[in-house]
Structure 1
Amino acid sequence: MPNSQLPSERPEQRRGQRLLFLALLFGVLLNFPLLGAFSHDARLAGIPVLYLYVLVVWAALVALTASLIKN
């Protein structure tokens, strides 16, 4: 039997599942309760903490998505 992998073990399906998990994770990270936690007047290096949080989360999303697509 040349293709002995189970259907749930195919790399394409695993990649799709990981991308779906990543989308859900970042959906939670960019949702109101966490955004509300960072929505105050504090600044870090002159940048509002909320903007910095969104920028870091977005950069992490891009980097993790690129690494999942590349592998």
Structure 2
Amino acid sequence: MSPQEQAEQRRGQRLLFVTLLFGVLLNFPLLAVFNHNGRVGGIPVLYLYVLLTWLALVLLTTRLVQKSS
């Protein structure tokens, strides 16, 4: 297996890990932890958690894809 093929395989494994990680982070048990009446800067905690988790997913995925190109 060539070094480029190995790098592609590692990238695929990392992207799969990111997918599974964020699948867990955006699943019911953790969402229930943040589902209360609290607010941060006027934004409900649950909305802020989902937004920041989504932003982290986008940034991490972008970094993984651009790093290997």
Q: Which structure has the larger Rg over C-alpha atoms?
A: 1
User: Residue 46 of structure 1: CA displacement?
Assistant: 0.1
Larger relative contact order, structure 1 or 2 (CA cutoff 8 Å, min sep 6)? 2
Percent of aligned positions that are identical: 65
Per the alignment, in what secondary structure is the counterpart of residue 24 of structure 2? helix
Structure 1's consecutive aligned runs of 4 or more residues displaced over 4 angstroms after TM superposition are none
Distance 2:7 2:50 in 1: 31
For structure 2, the 5+ residue unaligned runs are none
Larger helix percent: 2
Match of residue 17 from structure 2: 21
CA RMSD of aligned residues (A): 1.1
Aligned residue-pair number: 65
Q: TM-score, normalised by structure 2?
A: 0.90
